[in-house]
Chains A and B, each alone.
Chain A
Amino acid sequence: MPDTAPAPVITIGDDAPPVVLQERRILGVPASTWPKVLMPLFVGVLALAVWEFLVRYNGIPAYILPGPLLIAQTMVTDWGTLSGSLWITLSISLAALAVAVLLGVSLSVLFAQSKWVELSFFPYAVILQVTPIVAIAPLIIIWVNDVKLSLLICAWIVAFFPILSNTTLGLNSADHNLLNLFQLYKATRFQTLLHLRLPSALPYFLGGLKISGGLSLIGAVVAEFVAGTGGSQSGLAYRILESGYQLRIPRMFAALFMISISGIVIFLCLSTLSHMVLRRWHESALKREN
């Protein structure tokens, strides 16, 4: 309408500020979250207690199955070596994840520009994905002189595909009517990408990221097993191998625990990130009241 036209104000019944009800909080955490934390914790503690009891009751020697207390003790006494290895494994995984995000998103944006590019290159991404990492790891280790770099490449290969395929799907899932709307308002390709395709792809990308987070850790560990090289610069996988040779089974378990816990922490961090980003708008992150 022209600037001169008086703008009629239409008041309606539902024009009232939204009412927001705050949930009760205990120690800063919503009351409904507590059972979600406490219940699995309770099951875990119970399982550890049963384990400890069975080991002691049956007198199982520590070189066959150590009890959780002994494992915890080993973790404390060997913390110097183990924490160094933990740091190395984690830094390789996270670097691989970062590269996977960077390349995965860039490549999917490239794919979204043209169906032909996608058709030509996507099969090769699939080949990379379906080839077992244990089968190509030895080659990569031979080609790349630096052990750390070769582990990073292996972890990256494993972590890359879920991000690429999910983001590509997301970029192509923008609402058809919204695409028409952008066309109607003469949006440029770049505007459509920035304001429509990328936000549409966000939930898909975050789903891929959650999978890739765990996979990058698995990739780093598996590749190190294959490499089997030791030294002061080795990660948790080599600690497991080494402890096996030396029959230091409690230490083997301690390293195994640290890998599992790292995986869980990575998953929880990425889930939290995903929830924070999608909280206001996406189905997956919304709390249903019915």
Chain B
Amino acid sequence: MSVADLTLDTAAQPAGRAARPVVSCRGVAKLFSNGTLALQNVDLDIGRHQFVSLLGPSGCGKSTLLRLIAGLGEASAGTIDWPDAAHDSTGAAQPSLSFVFQEPTLMPWASAIKNVMLPLKLAGVKPDEQRARAAEALRMVGLAAFENAYPRELSGGMKMRVSIARAMVTRPQVLLMDEPFAALDEITRFKLNNDLLELWHASSFTVVFVTHSVFESVFLSQRIVTMAARPGRVIADMDVTAPYPRAADYRTSPLYNAHCKRASEALEQAMGHALGAH
């Protein structure tokens, strides 16, 4: 595919890319009790082992959508289905998912390994196995030497790694990330971007990654869903066709630049939409 073929696809079409999506949002809306319409009529299918970014200006409802997908809060309208997930006795889906917040959100009173053990402890896994799996997860993010360090003793990037290890320790099928690297410096962010891609490439989980950075979304994802504010909605859905593994040289390639240009245009359009609504 040559750079010249890349055209801006602004139609807010639900991408039916995967025959059977992992999660499927239909007509999702969220009206907060203070009257804010944070989301309106969002249709979104996310396929198995996809890496999808939700891109949009601040306040366009990215976090709200991600939290609804995570089951934190109820949608005011519409449905969020998990076709392949187990369902409990009440019929509610029990998808295997993890969430990474913008802040590391660690328990300051617990060491790194105790923090990573938490999801397993809550699930009633045996203590020996908790420890072994948490140690493995910490090794995976390169923090084997810091098992007994407390969050206070770790740098911002290291805390985020612990947070990612905690999310991975349950071996989730879906990893939801809400601007996880936004508060980090650029060098650390690039490093964590690479590491996250390696993790994802080596395994089979799905990532939904919220960001407001065009460059980050183009580097990481296969697909960028652009959202606009007031009310929050999907306005563009584009593929990023570059092959994986993507490394530092991808960041300087013409293909990367072309994708960034398209994503920027979509984002600009999103901002225009929002302003137009004023």
Q: Which residues of A contact B (CB under 8 A)?
A: 1-3, 5-12, 14-18, 175, 177-178, 180-187, 191, 195-196, 199, 202, 280-282, 286
Please give, as numbers and ranges, the residues of chain B lying within 8 Å of A11 by CB-CB distance: 142
**B150 A7 Cβ-Cβ under 8 A:** no
Distance between B69 CB and nearest chain A CB, rounded to angstroms: 11
A195 lies within 8 A of B204 (CB): no
Q: Which residues of B contact A (CB under 8 A)?
A: 67, 70-72, 97-99, 101, 103, 105, 107-110, 118-119, 121-123, 136, 139-146, 149-153, 155, 157-158, 168, 170-171, 191, 195, 198-199, 202-205
Instruction: Given A10-B140, A281-B150, decide whether A5 and B202 contact each other with a Cβ distance below 8 A.
Output: yes
Please determine whether B119 and A185 come into contact, CB atoms closer than 8 angstroms.
Answer: yes
Chain A residues near B152 (CB-CB < 8 A)? 280-281, 286
Selected A-B contacts with CB under 8 Å, 23 pairs: A1-B205, A5-B202, A9-B140, A10-B199, A12-B191, A14-B157, A14-B158, A15-B143, A15-B144, A18-B149, A18-B153, A180-B67, A181-B99, A181-B118, A184-B97, A184-B99, A185-B170, A195-B107, A280-B109, A280-B150, A280-B152, A281-B110, A281-B150
- Residues of B contacting A15 in the complex (Cβ-Cβ under 8 angstroms): 142-146
Question: With A and B bound together, what is the CA distance between A6 and B146 in angstroms?
Answer: 22
Closest to A11 in B: B142
CB distance from A277 to the nearest CB of B (A): 9
A148 CB to closest chain B CB, in angstroms?
39
**In the complex the two chains form, is A8's CB within 8 Å of B199's CB?**
yes
Taking CB atoms, residues of chain B closer than 8 Å to A191 are 122
A281 vs B150: C-alpha distance in the bound complex, in angstroms?
Answer: 7
CA distance A37 to B205 in the complex (A): 58
CA distance A180 to B143 in the complex (A): 25
CB proximity of B123 to chain A, nearest CB, Å:
7
**A183 vs B97: C-alpha distance in the bound complex, in angstroms?**
12
Min distance, Cβ B147 to any Cβ of chain A, angstroms = 11
Known A12-B191, A14-B157, A182-B122; judge A177-B139 contact (CB<8 A).
no
Nearest Cβ distance between residue A133 and chain B, in whole angstroms?
35
Whether the pair A2, B203 counts as a contact (CB closer than 8 A) is yes
**Given A184-B70, A185-B122, A195-B118, do A1 and B142 touch, yes or no (CB 8 Å)?**
no
C-alpha spacing A226/B136, complex, angstroms: 65
Residues of chain B within 8 A (CB-CB) of A199 are 107, 109-110
Q: Give CA–CA (A5, B199) in the complex, Å.
A: 10
**Complex contacts, B139 vs chain A, CB 8 Å:** 7, 9
Q: A10-B195, A14-B158 are in contact. Are A186 and B122 (CB under 8 A)?
A: yes
In the complex, what residue of chain A is closest to B161 when comparing beta carbons?
A12
